[in-house]
Amino acid sequence: MTLGNPYDRLATPADESKRAGHEDSLFPSPFPQGGVLRESAHADVHRNGIVHAGHYENFPVASILLPAALRRPVRAIYRFARTADDIADEGDLTPAERLAGLQALREGLDTIAHGRTPTDALLVELAETIRNHRLPLQPFYDLLDAFSQDVTKHRYAHFGEVMAYCRKSANPVGRLMLSLFGDEDARHQAWSDGICSALQLTNFLQDVAVDYRKGRIYLPQDEMQRFGIGERQIAEGRVDALWQQFMKFQIERARRMLAAGAPLGRALPGRLGVEVRLIVLGAERILYKLHAVQGDVFNQRPVLRLPDWLYMLRRALLPGRRKSRAQVCGSGGCGGQG
């Protein structure tokens, strides 16, 4: 999983060599480049087994759309998630070492839960954020469960299993961000879950080839079988009529889920609403592009480019009234862009 991804991310041209749930920005966001603060360093393994995230080049830690007072807490949350993601996904660690590193983070959360101060700088910063903003701890535990699952589970029998993964890999980030803004509205949380899961599904579709090279397939096995798709086809990067129909089905489902959560962008005020609208629009653009290339993510992996950004910014800042017809991939094919 990649955040952004979880949270995770949808790529821009500078990001094609590496993925971010599930995921980045306020929610597992489509924008690893735009409107963010970045840090860059090398991964550092500490004596307590925690590996600190070291490659933030394409990972948004605090969007400039956020109030300045919330950028540090957002950065702390993403630093924790990015570190856990790296433990699960990067380098040459054995599965046992990866699970041990994630367990070290769990024990750090346990320390915070018992009101004690962690010794690790990463967790000290996180503890301060959790205490100052009264954030729930369960979403952090859920993220660690998802990262651990990446180490131990590499195939998903059906869509229910995929969604169970999304509930831990992607949805916790959205809920944490709402909590950070003091928003505990149940409807907003449900919309957030829809957006986050849709972003995670979109990232899975973008990164079929990337994930396969890591030994993982997040596509439901029963649906692959129903459309006549085998793992060999993914290995070969073969795009035929069966693959195109299979991907169309996946794209349309992700689009419906994204649309179901999209009202959150209008319900939230100010900068937060703009941020969420940007995220939704970015995912819509990626899904539109996926459909336009007929699911050929092996040779034409979709990315967001300058015209996309201009379109998205205009729509996010001046949302107006959305058209009622489907914008992406309806039953008769893709609709228009705006």
pLDDT tens column, 272-327: 899 899 999 999 999 999 999 999 999 988 988 899 989 888 999 988 755 544 44
- Residues 46, 104 contacting (CB under 8 angstroms): no
Q: Can you give the pLDDT at residue 321?
A: 57
Residue 117 per-residue DSSP state: P
Q: Can you give the pLDDT at residue 329?
A: 47
State how many domains the chain has: 1
Whole-structure pTM value: 0.80
State the average pLDDT over residues 46-70: 52
Q: Can you give the pLDDT at residue 122?
A: 94
CATH code for the domain in which residue 250 is found:
1.10.600.10
Kindly report whether the peptide bond that precedes residue 42 is cis, defined as omega within 30 degrees of 0.
Answer: no
- Residues 247, 290 contacting (CB under 8 angstroms): yes
Q: Can you give the pLDDT at residue 67?
A: 82
- For the chain, what is the mean pLDDT? 82
Provide the 3-class DSSP secondary structure of residue 96: helix
In this predicted structure, the answer to whether residue 181 has a pLDDT above a threshold of 80 is yes
pLDDT tens sequence across 15-24: 444 443 333 3
Q: Is residue 8 part of a domain?
A: no
Q: Provide φ and ψ at 36, rounded to 5°.
A: -135, 160
In this predicted structure, the answer to whether residue 98 has a pLDDT above a threshold of 80 is yes
Q: Is residue 40 part of a domain?
A: yes
Q: Provide φ and ψ at 335, rounded to 5°.
A: -85, -165
Q: Percent of the chain, pLDDT > 70?
A: 75
What's the CA gap between 149 and 152, in Å, rounded? 5
What's the CA gap between 18 and 96, in Å, rounded? 24
Q: Provide φ and ψ at 55, rounded to 5°.
A: -130, 90
Q: Is residue 325 part of a domain?
A: no
- From start to end of 29-165, where are the E strands? 44-45, 51-52
Q: Can you give the pLDDT at residue 338?
A: 41
- Residues 248, 329 contacting (CB under 8 angstroms): yes
Range of the domain at 195: 13-317
Q: Which of 24-33, 97-106, 193-202 is predicted least confidently?
A: 24-33
Q: Is residue 27 part of a domain?
A: yes
Q: Can you give the pLDDT at residue 63?
A: 63
**CA dist list (Å): 307 to 222, 329, 337, 338:** 38, 20, 12, 13
In this predicted structure, the answer to whether residue 164 has a pLDDT above a threshold of 60 is yes
What's the CA gap between 105 and 311, in Å, rounded? 40
Q: Which residue do the tokens 């993964």 mark?
A: 165
Q: How confident is the model at residue 336 (pLDDT cuts 50, 70, 90)?
A: very low
- Residues 9, 32 contacting (CB under 8 angstroms): yes
**Cβ neighbourhood burial of 49 (10 Å; 0-12, 13-18, 19+):** middle
Q: Percent of the chain, pLDDT > 90?
A: 65
Q: Can you give the pLDDT at residue 324?
A: 41
Q: Is residue 181 part of a domain?
A: yes
Q: Which residue do the tokens 């149940």 mark?
A: 186
Q: Can you give the pLDDT at residue 16?
A: 43
Beta bridge partners of 52: 44
Q: Is residue 295 part of a domain?
A: yes
pLDDT tens sequence across 205-231: 999 999 999 999 999 999 999 999 999
State the average pLDDT over residues 258-281: 93
Q: Can you give the pLDDT at residue 283?
A: 94
- Residues 193, 261 contacting (CB under 8 angstroms): yes
* Nearest residue to 82 (alpha-carbon basis) of 147, 159, 12: 147
Residue 45 per-residue DSSP state: E
Q: Is residue 335 part of a domain?
A: no
Phi-psi region of 12 (alpha: psi -120 to 50; beta: other; left: phi over 0): beta
Provide the 3-class DSSP secondary structure of residue 258: helix
- Residues 33, 61 contacting (CB under 8 angstroms): no
Q: Is residue 280 part of a domain?
A: yes
State the average pLDDT over residues 147-160: 97
* Single-letter code of the amino acid located at 186: A
